[in-house]
Amino acid sequence: MTTTRLLLVALCMLGGPAVAHAADGVDVVTVAKQGDVRGRIVRREADGTLVMAVRREWLAGALSDLAADAARDDRLGALAARDELRRRIDAALRDLPAADRRRTFLESERARIERLLADPARDPAARAEFTWVRIPARNIRREQLADPAAAGVVQWAWSAGLDGPETRDQRRLARELSAQGIDPQAAPPTLADRLPPVPEDDRAWAARLALVADALDEPVAFQGMGDIQVPVAGLADAERVLPILEGTLGGKLDDLLAVFGGGKPARAAPDQWLASARTQAQAAGRCRATRLRLDAQAGRVEIESAFQVRFPDGTWETVWRDREVADGTAARPLADERLTADPRVKTVLDAVRAIGLVEEQRIDRALGMGAATLDALAAIDARFATFRSLHTRQLDGPPLWWAAW
């Protein structure tokens, strides 16, 4: 399961029974005595309440009473969120050593929150571009999810500030975007930072602090093939793909490749690789684990990565997870050049050629798989960095919700 790439990165769209997709690029929820609410369903709570993100201007024009209620809730929610955040920051600062680099960030965030709380009338929460609309289950008459392709077009249209994307024809929106030099089929940017803050529970706060630690301290990162994860601290990018080279070359390089144990991995048990990383990360209470899966015959590499957090009660949860698949047969001259320039890789290839273990064609195929892995690792690392930044730039930023993976 990959990270949600629509309105809220990593927010789970937890629908009820199967709902047909509409041609619309927005989710449509029909509310009793109100009408259709058009936006994004981002959460379904335990009692069935739907939480939607809706563009404030559209809501004010279509359902003014609901817009007024949402603005009031945004102000009250932001006030509660920031008051709670101030107390949490104070508690975190009491537990941090004086030299801890996180102190400066937390102190600056506390000062910003104090300024907002000192003048609630000027709080920007009720003027955010998008608002939260909470719809109790008893008031829901119908739900219809957006067509996935059209949803991306609408999100680009929101990002570009086009008029009325909620009700306009997707083809016209796509043409307007293209005229602005925007590819409407590309992955759209997140708009989560255009929403007002909401209160979070203690687990979300603990996860947010873990992301702050990951950003400001030394990352706790592991990688492997199969069930076993090993630390990647200090390894160059090209060294991280040596197992892929080995696997593509037929697993004959055990003596040459010590990284990640060498050899072909055994069949992986479901999520045992995550348990391997957690066991090694007990002291840190957080880790990012990455698993490489090679299909040499198909020329395909699959990378799965997850960020895990240990909570105060001792349980671990995965709060971010993503997947990237790369085609090892595609030309990647830049990645290939980076790979062959690495001294460790060059040593391995020189040794392979010198003793005639494999033919040159297989070496070329291995380099293609390695280059694909480099690109895939870079892509998935960039998406994690985006997710982490989204939830740590400001501690009252987008809510940190995650699915039960």
pLDDT at 206: 96
218-243 pLDDT tens trace: 889 999 888 889 898 877 777 787 77
Residue percentage of the chain with pLDDT more than 90: 59
Helix 343-355 × helix 333-341 angle, to 10°: 80
> For residue 354, is pLDDT > 80?
no
**Residue 363 near residue 248 (C-beta atoms within 8 A):** no
Mark residue 359 as left, alpha or beta (left: phi above 0; alpha: psi -120 to 50; beta: remaining).
Answer: beta
Is residue 400 domain-resident?
no
Residues 220 and 319 in one domain: yes
Domain boundary among 174, 199, 224: 199
**Residue 134 near residue 49 (C-beta atoms within 8 A):** yes
Is residue 373 domain-resident?
yes
Residues 366 and 269 in one domain: yes
Residues 192 and 315 in one domain: no
pLDDT band at 337 (very low <50, low <70, confident <90, very high): confident
State whether the Cα torsion 41-176-387-115 is positive or negative: negative
Domain boundary among 199, 231, 253: 199
pLDDT at 67: 95
Residues 57 and 193 in one domain: yes
| Structural domains in the chain (count) | 2
pTM to 2 decimal places: 0.83
Is residue 7 domain-resident?
no
pLDDT band at 23 (very low <50, low <70, confident <90, very high): low
**Residue 200 near residue 77 (C-beta atoms within 8 A):** no
Residues 187 and 234 in one domain: no
Is residue 273 domain-resident?
yes
Domain boundary among 172, 199, 226: 199
Residues 82 and 226 in one domain: no
Residues 228 and 363 in one domain: yes
> What does the pLDDT average to over 313-326?
95
Query: Average pLDDT, whole number, for the chain?
Result: 84
Residues 48 and 156 in one domain: yes
Is residue 204 domain-resident?
no
314, burial (CB in 10 Å: exposed 0-12, middle 13-18, buried 19+): exposed
Is residue 1 domain-resident?
no
Helix 202-216 × helix 102-118 angle, to 10°: 130
Is residue 6 domain-resident?
no
Residues 149 and 296 in one domain: no
Terminal Cα-to-Cα distance of the chain (whole angstroms) = 8
Residues 111 and 217 in one domain: no
Q: What is the spatial distance between Cα 92 and Cα 90, in angstroms, rounded to a whole number? A: 5
- DSSP E strands in 217-298: the ranges are 221-224, 230-231, 286-295
pLDDT band at 10 (very low <50, low <70, confident <90, very high): very low
164-190 pLDDT tens trace: 999 999 899 999 999 999 999 998 988
Tell which wins on pLDDT, 157 or 266.
157
Owning domain of residue 356: 213-390
Residues 363 and 281 in one domain: yes
265-285 pLDDT tens trace: 445 567 899 999 999 999 999
82-119 pLDDT tens trace: 999 999 999 999 999 888 889 999 999 999 999 999 98
pLDDT at 8: 37
Is residue 53 domain-resident?
yes
Residues 77 and 141 in one domain: yes
253-267 pLDDT tens trace: 444 443 443 334 445
